[in-house]
Amino acid sequence: ARFDAEQNGKRAFNNYNNNTAGVSTPIQDVLVRSIPTLVLYDDNGLDIFNDITHVDEYYITNAEMQIFKDKSDEIAQAHVGNNGVLIELGVGSMRKTRYLLDAIVSQNKSVTYYALDLSAQSLTQSLQPLALQFPSIKFVGLLGTYDDSLLYIKDHLARDNGSTRTLLWLGTSIGNTTRKEAAEFLERVKRLAMQDGDVLLCGIDRRNDASVVKTAYDDPKGVTRAFILNGLRHVERIFGGETGELFPLSKFEYVSLYNADLGRHEAYYRSLEKQRVEVDVDSLPHVFEFEEGELIFIEYSIKYDAEDIKRLMDQSGLRWAKEWLDQTERYSLHCFAK
């Protein structure tokens, strides 16, 4: 299944225009316009995100890695069946997946590993070295969106006698959608891709100190800033513009806010001056006008405490089974069961 980022981006950006289906996020009781978060994840954005995972201030990656390093034996023992199927929603860098695969192989289990991603390039880059390192594991790449893959799993991965599925949704990817959307997504995962006995291992960032979160999303080296601003380059391409032509960096900046009450980091663009951006939408000329200082929403990174997780379980119908914390207790890997 192929995902057409250009088409999707265009469709979604159109909503921004009439502000109906586009997200509106209340900031100080003002509704702001928004650009779909997805524009951050073009090939260049995926590369910069990979750089973020090497930034010390972005504690999330190290925390999750440490959990897999310490707990993979236990996880593989209890939650990966022999002749089982592993399905990772979004492959990312696979640095932590190695620990789990190591444990599986040393327990002499044979598994098939399905890795899903939006980018063919990152699927190939991630899976090729793993296939060499773990010859006893069968690797299959799935190119497409989460929802494409849930349907694929439902239709093609009929579960034969007794083997179980272990789904992985790591890296606090859940944080990019609202709490309501996250619960709805988990409900679909449960309904379409899980059967009794299957589990979903879900890596989720906790509601940490505001200063810790703030530094993670506005790091001193500016890697996060580069990641967010790259979204504007992608939007320009979607509109057929040249680099820096429609949204020059002299006229927009990155704004990072941590809303501790709501437990979420919010990323915005700020228009540095009053300006008009002229584009074509479906071959018709269209003008976007921005006020000086106007914020344009681009991304949530939503955090979960124990109460939030409980609500997520109530709303999705999944059953909470277990959790593992990293040493700093900032991050948790949850095991949800059907």
**The tokens 């990019």 sit on which residue?**
176
Q: Which is nearer to ligand AVJ, 9 or 171 (CB)?
A: 171
Measured in degrees and rounded to the nearest 5, phi and psi for residue 63 equal: -60, -45
**The tokens 């009929």 sit on which residue?**
158
- CA 203 – CA 254 distance, rounded (Å): 27
Q: Which of residues 41-100 bind ligand AVJ (CB under 6 A)?
A: 52, 60
Shortest Å distance, C-beta 182 to ligand AVJ: 12
Output the furthest CA–CA distance in the chain (Å, rounded). 64
Please state whether beta strands 264-271 and 84-89 pair in parallel, antiparallel, or not at all (unpaired). Answer: unpaired
Q: Which is nearer to ligand AVJ, 256 or 316 (CB)?
A: 256
Pick the binder of ligand AVJ from 66, 93, 126, 172 (CB under 6 A). Answer: 172
Q: Which of residues 174-203 bind ligand AVJ (CB under 6 A)?
A: 175-176
Pick the binder of ligand AVJ from 8, 14, 173, 177 (CB under 6 A). Answer: 173
Shortest Å distance, C-beta 217 to ligand AVJ: 5
Q: Which is nearer to ligand AVJ, 105 or 262 (CB)?
A: 262
- CA 305 – CA 312 distance, rounded (Å): 11
Residue facing ligand AVJ at closest CB distance: 301
Q: Residue 314: is it exposed, middle or buried by C-beta count within 10 angstroms (0-12/13-18/19+)?
A: exposed
Task: Sketch the per residue contact string, 216 through 245, with ligand AVJ: x for CB under 6 A, - otherwise.
Answer: -x------x--x------------------
Measured in degrees and rounded to the nearest 5, phi and psi for residue 171 equal: 70, 20
280: its two tokens: 């074509």
Number of residues engaging ligand AVJ in binding (CB under 6 A): 12
Q: Does 256 bind ligand AVJ (CB under 6 A)?
A: no
Q: Which is nearer to ligand AVJ, 36 or 175 (CB)?
A: 175
Residues 67/170, Cβ–Cβ less than 8 Å: no
Q: Under the rule (CB under 6 A), what is the footprint of ligand AVJ?
A: 52, 60, 171-173, 175-176, 217, 224, 227, 299, 301
